Structure 1
Amino acid sequence: MEHLADAPARQGLIIFLNGTTSSGKSAIATELLRILDEPYFHLPVDAFHALRSPVPVPPDALDTLLHRTWRGYHRAVAGMAAAGNHVVMDHVLSAKWRLEDCLALFAPRDVVLVGVHCPLPELERRERLRGDRPTGLAARQLPHVHAHGVYDIECDTSTTDAAACARRIKEFLPHRPTPTAFERLSSGQA
């Protein structure tokens, strides 16, 4: 067996899917894992929330717990990429600090920022069908989630299905721009 310590170092690529709840990020991630040419890990923020024990959290402690969970999630993604793993993450940048935290942690050249859009009436229809989200959550997130205004690539899941969005992202990867959206956001050029 080869010594793994001799494996060449590399920075993993992060495909960062950003959109409101019910916008289709997880469906796109599932399709990406199916079609990408190299192994990727899908790390959705919802999975980190689901890992928490079922111990009741007092209402006055919930915001702190959620903040710590999101910060831990960002660091887990950064750690996986720093170890050379490719990651598909899906997240909701509905608070400015979340983007700022990711900008501080991720290698900006190795992030493909994908805007996942969907009009509000369709988001609300999907929320009702899912039944596992608070009513109106997407509507509350929508004014904030795309406020930073810059992406490497964008898709609208109300007009394009998840498989087609994933194919567009895969085809885009070899042609990533310089500077990337994350590089522009990091330097204040956006």
Structure 2
Amino acid sequence: MRHLSAVPPRRGLIIFLNGTSSSGKSSIAAELLRILDEPCFHMAADSFHAMRSRVPVPPDALDTVLHRTWQGYHRAVAGMAAAGNDVVMDHILSADWRLADCLSLFEPQDVVLVGVRCPVDELERRERERGDRPPGLAAAQLKQVHAHGVYDLECDTGASDAAECARRIKDFLPARPTPTAFQRLREAG
């Protein structure tokens, strides 16, 4: 049996996909896992919400439960990266505190912040097709999700498919510029 001390230390990379609901983040993440050269984990916010028991949450407690879920999700991603795992993070920065929390937890030089954009009409079409999201949710999130305005790379899933977006991200990784978007956002904060 290999002892833990025999595992070489390494900091994991976080590929942080930020976009509205239905923007194509999960599809890009799936393609990245397929094409990246190193083992990688897809950690989606939706997966954390799906892990919660189905015990009814009283309406006056819902915001607290959701806030704690998001905080736990951020800490789980930070822990995986701190242990040396590469992570594709599928997130929606639809509240200011979410970005601030991530900025306080992640090593900013190890984060590639990718803006996943999509035209409103296409978002609405995808919502109708999925049928599992309230109509207009993505459009309502649009302004806040990209309000911070700083990315390392952006993809438009209305113009490019998930495979093309994933290839662009993979091609970007070897020569990532510094300071990263996360470094600039932390310094500005």
TM-score where L is the length of structure 1: 0.98
- In the aligned structure 2, how far is the partner of 1:183 from the partner of 1:10? 20
Matching residue of 2:115: 115
- In the aligned structure 2, how far is the partner of 1:53 from the partner of 1:47? 12
Superposed, 1:156-167 pairs within 5 Å as 156-167=156-167
Structure 2: segments with no counterpart, 5+ residues: none
- In the aligned structure 1, how far is the partner of 2:186 from the partner of 2:126? 33
Post-superposition shift, 1:8?
A: 1.3
- In the aligned structure 2, how far is the partner of 1:126 from the partner of 1:177? 33
Post-superposition shift, 1:136?
A: 1.1
Matching residue of 2:63: 63
Superposed, 1:59-98 pairs within 5 Å as 59-98=59-98
SS in 1 for 2:102: helix
Post-superposition shift, 1:139?
A: 1.2
Matching residue of 1:99: 99
| Identity of matched residues, % | 76
Matching residue of 2:175: 175
What is the identity, as a one-letter code, of the residue corresponding to 1:119? Answer: P
What is the identity, as a one-letter code, of the residue corresponding to 1:82? Answer: A
Residue deviations 1:53-111 (CA, integer Å, cap 9, x gap): 00001111101100000000000000000000000010000111000000000000000
Tell me whether 1:53 sits opposite 2:24 in the alignment. Answer: no
- In the aligned structure 2, how far is the partner of 1:185 from the partner of 1:177? 15
TM-score where L is the length of structure 2: 0.98
**How many residues are matched?**
189
- In the aligned structure 2, how far is the partner of 1:67 from the partner of 1:136? 22
Superposed, 1:178-189 pairs within 5 Å as 178-188=178-188
Q: Which runs of 4+ in 1 moved over 6 A?
A: none
- In the aligned structure 2, how far is the partner of 1:70 from the partner of 1:135? 23
Post-superposition shift, 1:4?
A: 2.9
- Root mean square deviation, CA, Å: 0.9
SS in 1 for 2:60: helix
Matching residue of 1:32: 32
- In the aligned structure 1, how far is the partner of 2:186 from the partner of 2:143? 22
- In the aligned structure 1, how far is the partner of 2:29 from the partner of 2:41? 9
